Amino acid sequence: MARRSASASPGRPVSGCQSRWTSHPKLDHDSHTKLDHTRGPVLGSVRGVSQRISLNRRAPGLLKQLIELNNSIKKVAAEAGLDQRLLELLKIRTSQLNGCAFCLDMHVREAMESGETHKRIYLLSAWRDANVYTDQERSALALADAMTRLSETQDVADEVYEEALAHLTEDQYTAVGWAVTVMNAFNRLNVTSHTPVPE
């Protein structure tokens, strides 16, 4: 049976010891580029945006089913004991990696409304080097990163999987996996459609 994580946030690695959450320069650079609204993929969705066919508006029935699936995942996550704020962090992180300005705007606001702190939101693009997240949150974020970067890695590493199950129950792991999957779908619909960020 998977064990739950301790409530305390993990401290920084002790000098001379290797952290299991090793930071990778390229991933850190890519993460910051995607979060920076003056560079990279996010820039394309907030400046000089051309009008395109909205996949959401052209297929409202399909969008409704996706929203209903998302609501069902929220319910499953709550029943599994996952904090709503963790789900919002996962949605923000996934949207950072996919460069979806519309979803970033929505879920940053929803995270703050759910009680998340500005600091934990600001540090999310560098979560591996920040000591403000619990082991459970870090394992879920690692899983979200791996699932979202499948085009680069073609796999979710055993280390990521095992670390997730060390801090998440099987039901929680399942909820996180579905939440990340559906968030990736929302990102792709909105980035492809150039959905504008509300004023």
Structural domains of the chain sorted by starting position, each given as residue range(s) with its CATH number in brackets: 59-193 (1.20.1290.10)
The pLDDT score that the predictor gives to residue 23 is 43
Q: What is the pLDDT of residues 38-53, one digit of tens each?
A: 344 555 544 556 789 9
Return d(Cα 116, Cα 109) in angstroms, integer.
Answer: 10
- State the Rg of the chain over Cα: 17
| Residue 23: C-alpha distances to residues 30, 152, 162 (Å) | 12, 17, 18
Q: Residue 54 — very low, low, confident or very high, per pLDDT cuts 50/70/90?
A: very high
164: helix, coil or strand? helix
Contact 110, 88 (CB under 8 A): yes
Q: Write down the residue that tokens 């929302």 correspond to.
A: 186
Q: What is the pLDDT of residues 139-179, one digit of tens each?
A: 999 999 999 999 999 999 999 999 999 999 999 999 999 99
| Residue 147: C-alpha distances to residues 65, 150, 151, 171, 179 (Å) | 22, 6, 9, 17, 11
The pLDDT score that the predictor gives to residue 80 is 98
Return d(Cα 197, Cα 53) in angstroms, integer.
Answer: 16
| Mean pLDDT on 11-22 | 42
Contact 106, 51 (CB under 8 A): no
The pLDDT score that the predictor gives to residue 47 is 52
- The pTM (predicted TM-score) of the whole model is 0.74
Pinpoint the alpha helices (H) of the chain. Answer: 25-35, 40-44, 55-58, 60-79, 84-98, 101-113, 118-122, 135-148, 150-153, 158-167, 170-193
Higher pLDDT, 57 or 173: 173
The pLDDT score that the predictor gives to residue 51 is 87
Higher pLDDT, 50 or 73: 73
96: helix, coil or strand? helix
- Indicate if the alpha-carbon torsion angle 89, 177, 97, 95 is positive or negative: negative
